[in-house]
Structure 1
Amino acid sequence: MFTRKEDRLLKTLNDFYDYVTSQGIDKNAIYEETGEGFAVVSFPERGEKDCIYNIAIVFYENDNDVEIYVRKPIKDFDELTLLRKLNSLNCEYTDVTFLVDENMLTVKSHLLSQGKLENVLIKMVSDVQLAQTEFIKI
């Protein structure tokens, strides 16, 4: 876990855990990994037709930069066709990046949160909705 200094620097992460707890979600259900200057939290989210999405949020120690990843498993796909579809989506949506990594369709976004968890949650929900809308078409 973090030292006292890191706790202060990652205020948005601490706010995230406070929010999760206030919503009745068990903090232990969230995977966390820390590195030098950042922390990643990851948790499942129910998608369409019992599909489970993986949501990962990267909090950086500057308490402003945040990356959000919404991932969905994909199997039995034609790589060229998939890459063409992802390229088309990347041309259509300029505030996110669509990619495939380790057989996972992914929407990636970067956010300057200004240290406000509300900004992170709004963007996360928006990215999940976008992923659910577009991934089902792929």
Structure 2
Amino acid sequence: MTKFSLALRPYLASLLCVFALVFVAAACGNDKGKVEGVNMLYGTTGKVWKTAKETDAAGDKVKQTDAQQEESLHVFSNNTYTMTGAAGAVQGKFAFDQGAKTLTLTPDGAGTSNTFNVETLTEKKLTLVGTSGAKLMLEAE
């Protein structure tokens, strides 16, 4: 019995190390589902968000055009925002509901608003999910 235990010891140690590495990588590298406070949207006074990746409702990556890559979302601490791109700028107000994990953008002068589910909100990452299931992953500039 002792020889059998000694023979398995290196394999068990290796297996334990693999499990530990997987656990640490999962705990450190995945912010999905983490939604922090509204101040993560705008920092101290304002923050600029740029598109990092976009997926369609099926989860397939959407190729960004050059114009889309230049678009940005500026979010300010006074609950206003400005979206800039090749077509110009759109300004409006936003409302963030941390409990419901939603972000509502209402352009100035518009009678309708757009509400997104917030899948991730940290200091550096923002993932918005549309009603179709399409996702927009943004990174803080």
Query: Higher relative contact order by CA 8 Å / sep ≥ 6: 1 or 2?
Result: 2
Which is helix-richer, 1 or 2? 1
- TM-score calculated relative to the size of structure 2: 0.29
- TM-score calculated relative to the size of structure 1: 0.29
